[in-house]
Structure 1
Amino acid sequence: MIATKAWAWLASGSAAMLGSLTDSLLDISATLMNFFVLSYALKPADDDHRFGHGKAEALAGLGQAAFISGSGCLLAFHAIERFINPVSVNHTLLGVWVSIFAIFCTLIVVYVQYQSIKRTESVAIKADSLHYKGDLLLNLAVLLALMLAYYGIAGADPFFAILVAAYLLYNAWQIGTESAAHLMDKELPDEEKTQIVAVAKSHEQVLGVHDLRTRQGGKVRFVQLHLELDDNMPLIRAHQVADEVAVLIQEAFSEQKHPEFGGEVDVLIHQDPISVVNKSSY
């Protein structure tokens, strides 16, 4: 795609095609970055990283967001300059065929990424996939811009180039927001927290749950909570109950039962006698 878009841009001089070429260059840079980052993020926990290396994905996402933002701004400036100093677009039919080819290739990439996200819940791949899905609209916009330019409609090329730049900036905002949420240990969605509490309370010897804390690092969900148990329960039995609840939560989020939640769950449970609990329970 990069080779064909570069050829089409040099032949036509289209600002919209330049935007599409810029986006493809960003795509391959981001994908290469993701390849190396995911290789690191998937390493198991070690003595220096007891919670694993999953947050490396979010760091890569922030890097992508910054890179995409800069490119979007440069493209916008180029498009504005084209408005001020118009340049005729040549060989538009070449650009049209290149755009159709790019749409076909992008559909294949999006399908492969969709299969990967279902299995891994990877933030980096989600960010990449979001970008490629937008590329479908981007290539359609370039296609329309070239066709309008072919029929002599002045201003269509730089106008669509500005739309592409706006799309890049919007994309960067979405990727940066999701990456920042992971780095700042944002809580899991409310529906997932509700399910965690319901599963914990489904154990017949659990009297209540409080102080639930959750976050996600890569594909691993981290869950911490306090179980409220009978005052007279032996310590060894309280320990067994905590282990049983942890297994229930892990099974509830397994890929087999809930493909939309599927992933690893790291559960840490503290046991409290019911008589000393002074916080509101769930």
Structure 2
Amino acid sequence: MRLATYASTATAAVLICVKLAAWAATGSMALLSTLIDSVLDLAASVLNLMAVRHALQPADREHRFGHGKAESLAGLGQAAFITGSGGLLLVEAGGRLVRPEQVVHGDWGIAVMVFSIVATAALVSFQRHVIARTKSTAISADSLHYAGDVMINLSVIVSLLLTMNLGWSAADPAFAIAIAGWLLFNAWQIIRGSLDTLMDHELPDSDRARIRDIANSHPMVLDLHDLRTRTSGRQGFIQLHLELPGELSLIQAHGIADEVEGAIQAAFPSFEVIIHEDPSGITEHHHDPA
């Protein structure tokens, strides 16, 4: 995860340098849009780097559930950066749409975009490898907008070709507006995912059903209730109450709970499982938000 944050920060810094030179040479609004995006990518990646470093710290006395939610806070920060860049780009592109300007040295811009696509695609490929191993919210958010950058860079090439070969001066700002819309859409996706974690959103119904099936598959388990799930960065938490035969001894009930816990953890290895044993037949209030 740390290596992924270093890679994204370095990639953004390199792309800022080459895009700045290309924009200065061409004056392309679409190219400016990708430059602004890369500047905000760098800011978001630096924020991500600090958040991941904090999130990877082990649980301590004051943070018994770990520091994983730092990743989601970083995601909200990234979304703020992306939203700001989308809004700024809409204003700039709108003005250029009303007062079109000629793009010069478009071939330079195309060369820079090709380089950007190759570098960004390599970064996204590495980030997805990291996500598959860690399920990191922060790296997922970072990868989402870098994947969007690949599409953005392709659209800039198209806009430059239309402007250079067909003289469609409106194509440049029009593509910039479309890019702004894509940025705002990405920001919303990041916000939604980060808020789900910060607000302790439950796992999908399919995962909850799987947990129930695993617990109920034990021959001594009669039922379960109060199933609660949540995630915090790479770490997840599953809590539930098992209903067991009332005549069991405490040590027998504990052994059954350990077996169910092991089965659930085998299916959800990054989750901590907490089980409370209840004797069946006792009337008690079961917490049911539904």
TM-score band w.r.t. shorter chain: over 0.9
For the 8 Å contact 1:228–1:277, the answer to whether it is kept is no
Task: Please name the residue that 2:282 is paired with.
Answer: 276
Task: Please name the residue that 1:162 is paired with.
Answer: 177
Q: Cα distance, 1:241 vs. partner?
A: 1.5
CA–CA distance in 1 between the matches of 2:91 and 2:29? 11
- Give TM-score, length-normalised by structure 2: 0.91
For the 8 Å contact 2:101–2:169, the answer to whether it is kept is no
For the 8 Å contact 2:47–2:77, the answer to whether it is kept is no
Residue 197 in 1 paired to residue 203 in 2? Answer: no
Secondary structure in structure 2 of the residue aligned to 1:178: helix
Task: Please name the residue that 2:24 is paired with.
Answer: 10
Task: Please name the residue that 1:258 is paired with.
Answer: none
Could you give the per-residue CA deviations for residues 170-203 of structure 1, whole angstroms, max 9, x where no partner exists? Answer: 1100001100110000000111111111111122
Secondary structure in structure 2 of the residue aligned to 1:187: coil
CA–CA distance in 2 between the matches of 1:277 and 1:51? 32
**Counterpart of 1:237 in structure 2: which amino acid?**
Q
Task: Please name the residue that 2:11 is paired with.
Answer: none
For the 8 Å contact 2:241–2:275, the answer to whether it is kept is yes
Aligned residues: 272
CA–CA distance in 1 between the matches of 2:176 and 2:186? 15
2:77 to 63, 66, 77: 63
CA–CA distance in 2 between the matches of 1:3 and 1:67? 19
- Give TM-score, length-normalised by structure 1: 0.93
CA–CA distance in 1 between the matches of 2:283 and 2:252? 19
Task: Please name the residue that 1:178 is paired with.
Answer: 193
1:62-211 maps to which residues of 2 (within 5 A)?
A: 62-151=76-165, 152-211=167-226
CA–CA distance in 2 between the matches of 1:118 and 1:107? 17
Secondary structure in structure 1 of the residue aligned to 2:281: helix
CA–CA distance in 2 between the matches of 1:250 and 1:32? 34
CA–CA distance in 2 between the matches of 1:42 and 1:21? 31
Question: Any stretches of 5+ residues in structure 2 without a counterpart?
Answer: 1-14
Instruction: Select between 199-208 and 88-97 the one with higher mean Cα deviation.
Output: 199-208
**Counterpart of 1:30 in structure 2: which amino acid?**
A
CA–CA distance in 2 between the matches of 1:67 and 1:136? 18
CA–CA distance in 2 between the matches of 1:132 and 1:67? 13
Secondary structure in structure 2 of the residue aligned to 1:2: helix
**Counterpart of 1:192 in structure 2: which amino acid?**
D
2:245 to 225, 230, 234: 230
For the 8 Å contact 2:51–2:71, the answer to whether it is kept is yes
CA–CA distance in 2 between the matches of 1:180 and 1:131? 17
**Counterpart of 1:268 in structure 2: which amino acid?**
I
Secondary structure in structure 1 of the residue aligned to 2:63: coil
Residue 33 in 1 paired to residue 47 in 2? Answer: yes
**Counterpart of 1:91 in structure 2: which amino acid?**
H
**Counterpart of 2:276 in structure 1: which amino acid?**
H
Q: Cα distance, 1:154 vs. partner?
A: 2.2
Relative distance call for 1:280 and 1:187 in structure 2 (3 A) is: closer
**Counterpart of 1:270 in structure 2: which amino acid?**
H
Residue 266 in 1 paired to residue 272 in 2? Answer: yes
CA–CA distance in 1 between the matches of 2:267 and 2:170? 56
Q: Cα distance, 1:27 vs. partner?
A: 1.6
CA–CA distance in 2 between the matches of 1:194 and 1:32? 39
CA–CA distance in 1 between the matches of 2:148 and 2:188? 13
